[in-house]
Amino acid sequence: MVDSALQPVYDKVMAGERLTFEDGIRLFESNDILTIGEMAHYVRLQKNGLKTYFTMNQHINPTNICRNECLFCAFYRKEDQDGAYRMSLDAVRQKVLERINEPITEIHIVGGLDDGLPYDYYIDVIRTVKEVRPKVNIKAYTAVEIAYLAERSGKSWCEVLDDLIEAGLNAMPGGGAEVFSERVKRKLFMDKLSADDWIAIHKLAHSKGIRTNATLLYGHIEKDEEKIEHLIRLRNLQDETGGFLTFLPLAFHPENTRLARLPMATGFEDLKHIAVSRLMLDNFEHIKAYWVMLGVDLAQIALSFGADDIDGSVVEEKIYHMAGSKSSQMMTRNQLKQLIQECGFIPVERDALYHEINSEISEIAG
C-alpha cells in the first residue's frame, strides 16, 4: 500500500464493514489507485466472482427536442435548431423491426422533454415496441421524464408509472440524477427535478416492482463531498427498497456542450469513480463500466477495478456520441464475450433485470 491513509479503509473493506462519508472522502483524496482498485476488486469478487455481465440491447431515443437546457447536455436541440428530430410511432416501429432478427432482450428508451408531443405519445412508444417485440424488457424513461409527463398531463407520478407499466414498461434507467447537489443543480441543470424528487420517483417505482438503475455524473464542477453524499443517499434508498439493479458512474463528456472548456475526465478518474462506487455502494449487486463511455480498452481494465458489467451491444448510441465519444456504436455478442474473456473473467449474458440467459436458446427464440 502506497498511501497509508487508506489502511483503516482497507481494514474495514476486508472485514466487510460499511464505509462512512469520511472513508469515501479519503478514497477520493488518495492517488493510490492500485490499492483502491485492489479493494474494489475484492468486493467485486465477493459479490459476483469472475462473472461479468453483458446484454444484447438496442437504444431508441424517440426525440432530442427538449424544453430544458442542461449545460452538460450535447444531445438536446430546440425545435427549430439543426439536428432536431422527433420520431413518429411508425419510425419507432421501424427501428425495432430493423433488428428483429437479432437476439435482443433489452430496449433502452430515453429522450428529450418535448413539448410538441402529447402525453400519449410517450406511452404509445412503449406500447409500439412491445407490440413488435413482446418478449423484450423495456427499460425506459428517467425520473426526469416521469416528472415531466406528470406535469404535462396533470397526473400524479403514480398514475404516470401505472400507465407506462400497463403499456409494457419493465425497468427504468438511472439517468437524470447527475449529482445530488443544489449548488451543482443551480449552475448546470437548473430546470431539472430535485434530488429529493429523483429519489421519491425511484422509491415509488420500486414500490410498484419496477427495478431501476442509478447513476452519478462526474467530471464537471462537482466536489468530492457532493459525490459521496450522492452515493450515500443511493445506498440509503437501496437499504430501504432493494430496488436498484446496478450503478453506473457516468463521465461528463464536454465536447459539443456549453461546458466545452472543461477537460474531459481521465482514465485515472474513470477507474477511481468505478472503484469508489463499488466500495461505497455495498448493497448494490452490480457496478457497470459502460464501454460506450469508457472505450473498450478502459472498460476491460475497469473489470479489475470493481465493475462486473459492461452494458451491451447497443448499435446506435446518440447521447455520448453527440458529446464527442469516439467509441464504436456497436458490438456483437462474440466481441462482448471475447473482451470479457481476454481479461480472465466469465461472460454472462443477462436481460435488463439480470436474469441470466442461455445464449444458444435466445438465439433461436429471437
Q: Where does this chain bind ligand SF4 (CB under 6 A)? A: 66, 68-70, 73, 75-76, 112-113, 144, 192
Q: How far is the CB of 112 from ligand SF4 (least distance, A)?
A: 4
Q: Which is nearer to ligand SF4, 70 or 298 (CB)?
A: 70
**Beta bridge partner(s), residue 169:** 138
Q: Which is nearer to ligand SF4, 69 or 159 (CB)?
A: 69
Run of H or E including 81? none
Q: Which is nearer to ligand SF4, 76 or 305 (CB)?
A: 76
Q: Which is nearer to ligand SF4, 112 or 306 (CB)?
A: 112
Q: How far is the CB of 148 from ligand SF4 (least distance, A)?
A: 8
Q: Which is nearer to ligand SF4, 168 or 176 (CB)?
A: 176
Q: Which is nearer to ligand SF4, 249 or 306 (CB)?
A: 249
Using the Cα atoms of residue 119, residue 124, residue 126 and residue 127 in order, give the sign of their dihedral. positive
Amino acid letter, 176: G
Q: How far is the CB of 302 from ligand SF4 (least distance, A)?
A: 24
Q: Which is nearer to ligand SF4, 19 or 193 (CB)?
A: 193
Collect all residues with Cβ–Cβ distance below 8 Å to 21 and sequence separation of at least 6. Answer: 228, 229, 232
Name the grid cell of 15: 472485514
Residue 65 DSSP code: B
Residue 192 DSSP code: S
Q: How far is the CB of 293 from ligand SF4 (least distance, A)?
A: 15
Q: How far is the CB of 95 from ligand SF4 (least distance, A)?
A: 19
Give Cα 57 distance to the centre of its chain.
13
Instruction: Report the C-alpha gap between 124 and 31 in whole angstroms.
Output: 49
Amino acid letter, 201: I
Q: Which is nearer to ligand SF4, 13 or 113 (CB)?
A: 113
Q: How far is the CB of 84 from ligand SF4 (least distance, A)?
A: 12
Q: How far is the CB of 255 from ligand SF4 (least distance, A)?
A: 15
Q: Which of 247, 181, 178, 261 shows the shortest CA–CA distance to 218?
A: 178
Burial class (CB in 10 A: 0-12, 13-18, 19+), 242: exposed
Specify the 3-state DSSP secondary structure of 215: strand
Name the grid cell of 273: 469513480
3-state secondary structure 223-262: CHHHHHHHHHHHHHHHHHHCCEEEEEEEECCCCCCCCCCC
Q: How far is the CB of 246 from ligand SF4 (least distance, A)?
A: 20
